[in-house]
Amino acid sequence: MEAAENPNVGLCCTTTPVWQLPGLTIPNRMLQMNYGCGSTVNPRDLVNNPKILYVGVGGGMELLQFSYFSRQPDGIVGVDVVNEMLEACRQNFVEAERLNPWFRSAFVKLIKGDALQLSLEDNSIDVAAQNCLFNIFKHEDLKKALEEMYRVLKPRGRLVLSDPICEQEMPENLKEDERLRALCLSGSLPLKKYIKMMTDVGFGTIEIRARRPYRILDPLNYATDSVIFIESVEVCAIKDPMPADGPCVFTGKTAIYYGSEESFDDNKGHVLQPNQPLAVCDKTAKALASLNRSDVFISESTYFYDGGGCC
């Protein structure tokens, strides 16, 4: 509630530069209320007038950015559980209308609601987004929040999210600190665990689009014996049918054929052209590596996947 009434610039400091787009001016107060840790707005997801859901509206900056691509009355539904946040967002939209002649507050339908129980119909949304909210949930609530997103998405719909992650074991005392959780500092999971929670809910394809350093929890300022490194990720989880051999998780690996033939075909749908990196999911990367060929190179995860490739 406090963060709705008094913008807190340092609250969820994002390391991602804010989208600069032609004709888009973001009001200062919205920038100050940027409580996200990455971006969930990606033009690639926004073709064919998608119906968009955004959960945890904050100051409305990403709603404005989604509106830039959507521009249809009620094209976006913004849900938040805190009245003051919805009100702050509404006020920021008034200023956004003044600064952006193309923008109408009516592009976004703001409603009070809970990420754990969305008042939306099954299979009704093309793109569902959340930024720096789900990390505050403990296991059962996170599962519920992911299930809710899965439920409301249409088949092939996309959940785009940005959240902190942490590969170190978060000390129990920090994990249980509700204030630190609310500040998006101590609820983060290791990436693999987070991905597993998404695939367990049913998402058949996962794209890791970005991974960046985020914060440090140090012994001087937090109740920890060692320095804890927190990163942030941008993920797109697609409601594709689950493949029989398990989910396709893209972490930015590629396969490169460097043999003397015209191409290499694994007879499973992957044809590698000489010295042309083919983006592969981790499952395909593992299968190709297990062939132990001296003319196929598998590159490491870059955690920067931007489409294309196998599956």
Which positions touch ligand SAM (CB under 6 A)?
Answer: 12, 34-36, 55-58, 61-62, 79-82, 85, 114-116, 131-133, 184
CA gap 157, 203 in Å, rounded: 10
Task: Write the secondary structure of 8-25 as one string of H (helix), E (strand) and C (coil).
Answer: CCCCCCCCCCCCCCCCCC
* In the complex, minimum distance from the CB of residue 7 to ligand SAM, in angstroms, rounded to a whole number: 10
Closer of 4 and 255 to ligand SAM (Cβ) = 4
Whose tokens are 């101590």? That residue is 186
Nearest approach in angstroms of CB 196 to ligand SAM is 22
Instruction: Please state the closest distance from residue 70 (CB atom) to ligand SAM, in A.
Output: 17
Nearer to ligand SAM, 131 or 254 (CB): 131
Strands of the sheet containing 76-80, edge to edge, are 108-112, 76-80, 52-55, 125-131, 153-165, 228-238, 205-217, 248-250
Question: In 124-204, at which residue ranges do the beta strands (DSSP E only) sit?
Answer: 125-131, 153-165
CB of 238 to ligand SAM, least distance (A): 21
- Name the β-bridge partners of 236: 160, 207
Contact 226, 170 (CB under 8 A): no
- Spatial distance between the Cα atoms of 134 and 118, rounded to a whole number of angstroms: 14
Q: Is 310 helix (H, G, I), strand (E, B) or coil?
A: coil
Cβ closest to ligand SAM, residue 184 vs residue 237: 184
Identify which of residues 178 and 265 has a Cβ nearer to ligand SAM in the complex.
Answer: 178
Give min distance, CB of 112 to ligand SAM, in A. Answer: 9
What crossing angle do the helices spanning 139-152 and 191-201 adopt, rounded to 10°? 50
Among candidates 96, 98, 123, 100, which has minimal Cα distance to 110? 96
Q: Which is nearer to ligand SAM, 46 or 61 (CB)?
A: 61
Closer residue to ligand SAM in complex, CB, 46/149? 149
One-letter amino acid at 279 equals A
Question: Nearest distance from residue 94's CB to ligand SAM, in Å?
Answer: 18
